Amino acid sequence: MKKATTLLAGIALSATMAIAGDHTIHWGYSGHGGPEHWGELSDDFKMCMIGKNQSPIDLRTDIAFETKLPPIEFDYHTKAFDIVDNGHTEKVDINPGSTITVDGIKFELKQFHFHTPSENRIDGKSFPLEAHFVHADEHGNLAVIALMFEYGKPNETLERIWRKLPEKPGVKHACSMTAADVMALLPKDKSYYRFNGSLTTPPCSEGVRWLVLKTPVTVSKAQVQKFARIMGHANNRPVQPLNARVILK
């Protein structure tokens, strides 16, 4: 149960500080608190340094194991209720009740958020933007759907979020996205790659099911630039070693 609690706690961490034991630990994406030092900042963050199943990764399709992955069963039917700038990303919170089913287990959609540039790569390719849809089962185990954005025409659904983005850490704005709007962010082809990984922020807890959609959707350069300006810095953890893990496709 401790592992599940740690996974759930990791969802809500701030990019500039996190609670480790009785101490406030400041961390970020550069300098002394950057990703290469996360594991040194606290005993609670050691997995960032010693973990063998860390995320993100470069998904090399030439070494991926080809199998018949079952479709992800989506049942999104609840609305978003706010958008929060938590200091390291813009996070859209979802009302309880929307789920996916993976491995016969229901995982409830908690929130989705964004990284620029992308954290995961596909065959070495970095994308200008990546969204993570974070789900948890009744025991706190996580399943994350990763969606890549590539440059093209403006994303109309994304623009509905972008118009309400808070521009200061700690600020939240109301959001009335419907479940249909959330689904509209995703591509029609929902085939995916799968691997076992971790949170991409401290405490870097492992045991996360990663489902990376193969088909990207479009985003305009102006939309990416707006997000990057609000963040003030890149908010992607560098890719981590694959080690003995298998990528499924």
Model confidence at 167, in pLDDT bands (50, 70, 90)? very high
**Residue 243 reports pLDDT greater than 90:** yes
Burial label for 73, CB within 10 Å (0-12, 13-18, 19+), is exposed
pLDDT band at 30 (very low <50, low <70, confident <90, very high): very high
Q: Quick one: pLDDT at residue 11?
A: 55
The verdict on residue 125 lying in a domain is yes
Residue with tokens 């009785």: 22
Q: Which helix (H) or strand (E) holds 135?
A: strand 129-136
How are beta strands 99-102 and 192-198 bridged, if at all?
unpaired
Give residue-wise pLDDT tens across range 72-105: 999 999 999 999 999 999 999 999 999 999 999 9
Q: Residue 246 domain-assigned?
A: no
> Could you give the number of structural domains in the chain?
1
- Tokens representing 151 are 């440059």
Residues tagged active-site: 88
Q: Which of 12-21, 22-31, 129-138 bottoms out in mean pLDDT, i.e. has the lowest? A: 12-21
Percentage of the chain with pLDDT > 70?
90
Q: What is the CATH number of the domain that holds 16?
A: 3.10.200.10
User: What's 248's DSSP letter?
Assistant: B
Q: For residue 239, tell me if it sits in a domain.
A: no
Cα dihedral sign, 231-180-141-104? negative
First to last CA, the chain: 30
Full-prediction pTM beyond 0.85?
A: yes
- Whether residue 120 is contained in a domain is answered as yes
Residue 172 belongs to domain spanning? 2-231
